[in-house]
Copies of this chain bind each other. A is one copy, B any other.
Amino acid sequence: MDSAPPVPPSSPPSSPWLPFESRRRARDEKREAVLRAAVQLFLEQGYHRVTLSEVAERLNITKPALYNYFRGKDEILFECWSMGAELVDSVITEINAGGGSGLAKLRKLVHAYAGLMATDFGASLVRFDLRDLTERNAGVARAAKKRIDATFRRYIAGGINDGSIRPCDPKLAAFAIAGALNWIGHWYRRDGGLSPTEIADEFTVRLTEGMATEGRQQMTKKTPRAPKGRNSGRKTTGKKRTGGGTR
């Protein structure tokens, strides 16, 4: 996780700064170690069957020590969830920064998201029950989910507009794609016969091949044509917004 350089300039014991910094870093590292142990156990056994003593035991400490880093069990759950959300957010930010048609962006998102679902923190994003959180944290989580859902829809709608995606209902299409992706978090096993990249590659094709405007055989070539002008493909069910994306 920490791909950062391993304490680059800390060999000389001269700097009065480093002690403080390294100390705070040590604390953060321990905090994250708790999250890693917790997320693993939560996924393995389910939140309600995991006791804090169990989490602590795996870290060679005792339960009350955990309270030095977290206010309670539900906060640990939330922080795990947040780690996953941050991963997705950074993926989205990166895709948004780049260019490409709506279809191209959608495919990037599908590919990266599929890969995330094969990680612990990624899977926690869809396997944890938000009702276990405090109302406040649940609100934050719902908002994050909504943003992600909106991104899927935006890419699809954008693709319809720029002609790379055939007209369809962005809402339902996003649900279908996100559903297939989220489900990875439920069935993927590290020791299974499928590698994350295999899954991501295959899903990227499978989930978008039906909606592309271009020829079905290869998707590398692109002919951006805008046949229908401004008409977005909103057809049935264009009624009301009822909150919830993924709940």
Hey, which bits of chain A sit against chain B, CB under 8 A? 45-46, 48-49, 129, 131-132, 168-169, 172-173, 175-184, 186-187, 189, 191-194, 198-199, 202-203, 206-211, 216, 236-237, 239-242, 244-247
Contacts of A216 in B (CB 8 A): 210, 216
Copies in the complex: 2
Compute how far the CA of A72 lies from the CA of B187 in the bound complex, rounded to whole angstroms: 29
Contacts of A180 in B (CB 8 A): 175-177, 179-180, 183
Cβ of A170 to closest chain B Cβ, rounded Å: 11
Compute how far the CA of A207 lies from the CA of B168 in the bound complex, rounded to whole angstroms: 13
Compute how far the CA of A172 lies from the CA of B240 in the bound complex, rounded to whole angstroms: 30
Compute how far the CA of A181 lies from the CA of B175 in the bound complex, rounded to whole angstroms: 9
- Decide: B176 and A207 in contact? CB cutoff 8 A: yes
- Decide: A169 and B202 in contact? CB cutoff 8 A: yes
- Decide: A45 and B194 in contact? CB cutoff 8 A: no
- Decide: A189 and B242 in contact? CB cutoff 8 A: yes
Further 5 A-B residue pairs, CB within 8 A, beyond A172-B202, A175-B183, A176-B206 = A172-B206, A179-B182, A202-B236, A208-B210, A209-B210
Shortest Cβ distance from A47 into B: residue: B48
Compute how far the CA of A209 lies from the CA of B208 in the bound complex, rounded to whole angstroms: 10
Given the known interface contacts A131-B45, A203-B176, A206-B173, the answer about A244 and B187 at a Cβ–Cβ threshold of 8 Å is yes
